[in-house]
């Protein structure tokens, strides 16, 4: 396990300074997810979200494991009353309140809570050797942080049933084919570097439009089509009150590169 002096989440900026790279840091536990780790992760995510110099966030683990699951030692002696009263896993969903785009870079195991964490991100890249799964059934439980809900929406009911009920695990190429990840990088390609490239590209656009785009896409997952279209249209219209809309369209008409003010 990580010692008390070692942070459970490491943070660094990319060479451009526009992307924050957060790395889960429990190497001896294959980055097993615990409440203390999520407490630190939420703090680092909120700091990155508040940093105006940052346009995107990359979340990754180690070559062996993005996160091999939730920490069984933390969970095994809990009872219903304790988990219910204390809303166990409730803080694991605070990532949904982050407004900047979060790109996952997965190598190795993304199992159980690790797969659920990966699915909660906005974009997801992986290596061919990545392994995704929801093995909670082998512990006498089911996924509790989105593994039945997000997984079904991404890959469909039959495949989700097989992963949740039959403990089927899939590799990176299958995850790409099924739509679980946005892209599986080539063998030997640096998945974190590729995720940072996407982050830098996003950071090169106006921050207000990026934030609105994320809100609109997320809205499509929660709203009926008519309400989703209304949200999209209102966000689209609201962007005409921004300086970046005027700059972007003027730059296009004048055949020059826009200079974003993020206002």
Q: Which residues are known catalytic residues?
A: 70, 113, 116, 136
Contact 160, 152 (CB under 8 A): yes
Written in H, E and C, the secondary structure of the chain is CCCCCCCCEEEEECCCCCEEEEEECCHHHCCCECHHHHHHHHHHHHHHHHCCCCCEEEEECCCCEEECCECHHHHCCCCHHHHHHCCCCHHHHHHHHCCCCEEEEECEEEECHHHHHHHCCCEEEECCCCEEECHHHHHCCCCCCCCCHHHHHHHCHHHHHHHHHCCCCEEHHHHHHHCCCCEECCCCCCHHHHHHHHHHHHHCCCHHHHHHHHHHHHHHHHCCHHHHHHHHHHHHHHHHHCHHHHHHHHHHHCCCCCCCCCC
Neighbours of 182 (CB within 10 A): 16
């Amino acid at each position: 396990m990580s010692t008390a002096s070692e942070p459970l989440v490491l943070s660094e900026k990319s060479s451009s300074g526009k992307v924050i790279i957060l790395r889960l840091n429990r190497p001896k536990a294959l980055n097993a997810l615990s409440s203390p780790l999520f407490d630190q992760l939420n703090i680092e995510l909120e700091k990155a979200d508040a940093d105006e110099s940052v346009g995107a966030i990359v979340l990754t683990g180690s070559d062996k494991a993005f996160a091999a699951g939730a920490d069984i030692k933390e969970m095994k002696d809990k009872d219903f009353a304790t988990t219910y009263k204390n809303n166990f896993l409730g803080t694991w969903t605070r990532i949904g309140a982050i407004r900047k785009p979060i790109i996952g870079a997965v190598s190795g195991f993304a199992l159980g809570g690790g797969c659920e964490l990966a699915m909660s991100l906005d974009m997801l890249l992986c290596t061919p050797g990545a392994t995704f799964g929801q093995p909670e059934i082998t512990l006498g439980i089911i996924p509790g942080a989105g593994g039945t809900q997000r997984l079904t929406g991404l890959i469909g009911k039959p495949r989700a049933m097989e992963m949740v009920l039959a403990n089927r695990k899939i590799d990176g190429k299958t995850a790409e084919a099924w739509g679980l990840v946005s892209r599986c990088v080539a063998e030997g390609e640096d998945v974190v570097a590729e995720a940072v490239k996407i982050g830098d590209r996003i950071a090169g656009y106006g921050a207000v439009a990026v934030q609105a785009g994320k809100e609109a896409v997320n809205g499509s997952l929660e709203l009926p089509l008519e309400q989703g279209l209304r949200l999209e249209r209102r966000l689209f219209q609201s962007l005409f009150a921004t300086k970046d809309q005027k700059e972007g369209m003027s730059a296009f008409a004048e055949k020059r590169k826009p200079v974003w003010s993020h206002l």
